[in-house]
Amino acid sequence: MPENLNAEETAPHARVAADVASAMGTDTTAGLSSSEAQARLERLGANELEREAAVSAWRRFLLQFKDALVLLLVAAAVISCIVWAVERETSLPYEGLVIITILLLNAILGFLQEGQAEKALASLRAMAAPEASLVRDGVQRRLVTRDLVPGDLLIINEGDTVPADARLLAVAELQTLEASLTGESSPVTKSTQPVASDAGIGDRLNMIFAGTTVSFGHGRAVVTATGMSTELGRIAGMLKTTKSPTTPLQRELDRLGKQLGTTVVVIAAVVVASLLMLYGAHDAATVVQVLMFGVALAVAAAPEGLAAVVTVVLAMGVQRMARRGAIVRKLPAVEALGSATIIASDKTGTLTRNEMTVRVLVTAAGRVDVTGTGYSPEGALLPQGLQELSGAWKQETDQLLQAAVLANNAQLNEKQGAWSIQGDPTEGALLSAARKAGLEAGETRGRFPRLSEAAFSSERKLMSTVNQDGGPSGHRLLFTKGAPGTLLERCTHELSGEKAVPLTPERRAQILLITEEMAAEALRTLGTASRSLDSEDSAKEAGRKASEFEHGLTFLGLIGMIDPPRPEAGAAVERAKAAGIRPMLITGDHPGTAVAIARELGISSDDRVLTGTELERMSEPELAKATQEISVYARVNPKHKLRIVKALQGNGEIVAMTGDGVNDAPALKSSDIGVAMGITGTDVSKEAADLVLTDDNFATIVAAVEEGRAVFSNIRKFLEYLLSSNAGEVLTVFLSVVLARPLGLGDKGTLVLPLLATQILWINLLTDGAPALALGVDPAEPDLMRRPPRPRSEGVINAKMRWDIAIVGLVMAAGTLLVFDAALPGGFFEGPGGIEYGRTMAFTTLMLFQLFNAFNARSDAQSAFRGLFRNGWMWAAVGLSIALHFLVIYVPFLQAAFGTVRLSGGDWFRSIAVASSVLWIVEGMKLVARIKQRPETAERAGEDSPVARQSPGSTNAAA
């Protein structure tokens, strides 16, 4: 059985292609069978580079204790146990055991969160896995590259990333970029001829290598090596360690966490020093209690779990995007999506159905209408003014469609009554039209076997093939299709009946006028032409490219086709506008077609369009001004796209740009959010993009923007919740020290604090875990897509959030100290209980404060009572937190561990009443903000009315 065939003794590059295929057990037409491929996959392993072994579960668990504050808490627990062992004041070292228990629970929570994040990211990697085209069981299909095996028959096209080392069997002007292996920056032209066995990698012109890119042409090859046996695998030692990069958002939050941690440590140190100065260090137990309290305060107030929660929320949001058809390749795109102000979209397949349908054929005899839709070859050809197509008119039409079938690489397939195409949608539509006319692609291609090809490119705008006529004449013929204007420049005659008549200037002008009229009908136009190669050309043909014969052609006619708009595209455009996002249409199609589609979908309300030719003549300032007013661009190439992106960014826009071709990669990389087409896109465009659409649908981009906004909004929600809750804890303790004497806590010169270290840690465990995660999966607010985009310069914490955090923290601290003071004798209010009762009341009130605050955090503008029950996870988290707190209050063993006593129904009522104040105060703040915002909203609505709006194409008109 053949193995990886890249050893020097086998040297596939030194052998004839057919011998290599035979040695690999590969049928050069049908490829491998599925059963044989599966057997090889099991024996040889997946086609992927080795990665560093995953961190074991026990090591990941131990890493939860690496934080400096956690280590301080471990030390405090150990010291507490030592003091207990010396003094034996209680039956068990409750304080030390509780701290250790909480540390373990925190570690378990962090461990589970990291595991969830890793699982989510692994599934995303699987969804974004690259694919390759190959033939198995005689059928061309797409397959995840890791499942390729030696012997597979690859189909490679322009823009593909080569998935494995392979020996070329057939090429059509194939060129690859091999700088990743050889350092050679120029494209390498490939052939199928054997080379010397000792040839270096750069000289193995009949081989393609894993990791390189096809820059031009296409071909077939048999896989000779996969995985670590490839040339790339040999130098992959440095690639084995695959680290997940941190996003800008994660780095900002990490920086924020460190800043807060430092601040809290300073505050904790001040509190400890103040306590020691106020109450003195009379005995070891007091010193240990103060130190543990300070450490507990620092640990509780620092949001050390923030990064893990962010990762989980991002990963879950990205999975939701994937379910809606948008695969996020780079996590920063999630953040950028919330700021997008422009969606610059291609037309074909994104705004339209990508099911081209031929509607019109025009030859010298006149116009023929074609019925039917989509790729199904059901329909008829109806010549204007006649019942059926016949005579010279039919001959012209057959010649027109014959050229369209032969200068064509697509395949039309039928499975269980459903028709689909393999290849370019335009070429698929041509095959369907030909079949309606009675021309079978298989029979036509069988009679005219292809000898060579000049592939289509955006620069040439033509595709040509040289074919051998298998009929009596035996002539070699050239067939060409392409843009009518470009094609006519190479034509000297036109087919009229059976004869080629000279193409006069007047007839050229008439054909171009017909092209304009068809474009006004939103039809995309193609022309076809042909020529018979004379004896001199035929003698030289074997050594020349097909493109060299593109002159002296006979024009055969025009083909008009349409790609109808997607039904959901119009609604998506309106949603984008309502969200303050300006849609733009950028296409290589005719200006008339572009304007017609843009007007139908609501992208543009006028006929203004900027063509690539006009754009070429513009200076950068002129283009920057034009992009502020014009939303439709036609006849543009990828270089023009790049200029448009830079002009928009120069105007301060955040641009999401779509693309599918190799040359779109620079524009995708330069844009703020590069969006590649998952169906029609090349591997190069997908690698350059941040987002890949699995359905190539404009509506999916808008849905991804909504998900991106929701993810960022949820991150802000739980961040505000965590920081305001932690601020409440810190201020409660800090103010209890500052106001010790007015509160009656320091009158007897003993250490009396409203909360124990274990109680602070318990609150932190209850409220920073489940409720924070529940906020991370909060449903998107109803008006999320009616808000303007978030300014890119605005950080994750804005000025309003800082103000809200400060107010909520003060309300929590004041309420908790009020309840604590009211429970004890002395101070501002005379209370009935002892210190344990007072601490239990403060402990419970502060915990309830934070749970009420979780509902506040669900929106910074809308009332907490709006959509109160939309987030079931929030209610589950709150219920869990209260249930666990009940155990601490009423279970005797836990009472001793946490220093609590039983509370009555009246005690709970008072704690709930005071804790709910944070909800009512924030509700009042939100109400005032909404009342103040109403005049501004009305004013903006007036400015955006049809009467007031001055420029239909102006930036962010909907904002």
Spatial separation of the C-alpha atoms in residues 828 and 740, rounded to whole Å: 11
Residues 6+ apart with CB under 8 A from 182: 201, 202
Residues 6+ apart with CB under 8 A from 151: 2, 24, 25, 26, 32, 36, 37, 40, 222, 223
In terms of Cβ atoms closer than 10 Å to its own Cβ (0-12, 13-18, 19+), residue 906 is: exposed
Residues 6+ apart with CB under 8 A from 286: 279, 280, 751
Of 147, 152, 165, 346, the catalytic one is 346
Under a CB-based contact definition with an 8 Å cutoff, are residues 472 and 536 in contact? no
CB atoms within 10 A of CB 128: 16
For the question of residue 346 being annotated catalytic, the response is: yes
First to last CA, the chain: 65
Report which of 542, 409, 544, 531 is spatially closest to residue 469, judged by C-alpha positions. Answer: 531
Spatial separation of the C-alpha atoms in residues 45 and 712, rounded to whole Å: 40
CA 163 to chain centre: 22
DSSP string, 818-857: HHHHHHSSSSSS--SS-HHHHHHHHHHHHHHHHHHHHHHT
Three-class SS state of 724: helix
Under a CB-based contact definition with an 8 Å cutoff, are residues 231 and 12 in contact? no
- Report residue 174 as tokens: 């194939």
Report which of 850, 864, 901, 854 is spatially closest to residue 731, judged by C-alpha positions. Answer: 850
- Report residue 882 as tokens: 């209260």
What b/e readout covers 773-800, taking b as 16+ CB neighbours within 10 angstroms?
Answer: bbbbbbeebeebbebebbeeeeebbeee
Under a CB-based contact definition with an 8 Å cutoff, are residues 103 and 73 in contact? yes
Q: Tokens 């749970």 label which residue?
A: 851
Report which of 241, 182, 180, 222 is spatially closest to residue 49, judged by C-alpha positions. Answer: 241
Spatial separation of the C-alpha atoms in residues 28 and 21, rounded to whole Å: 7
Residues 6+ apart with CB under 8 A from 53: none
Under a CB-based contact definition with an 8 Å cutoff, are residues 609 and 562 in contact? no
Three-class SS state of 659: strand
Residues 6+ apart with CB under 8 A from 522: 562, 592, 593, 596, 597, 600
Could you give the residue numbers annotated as active site?
Answer: 346
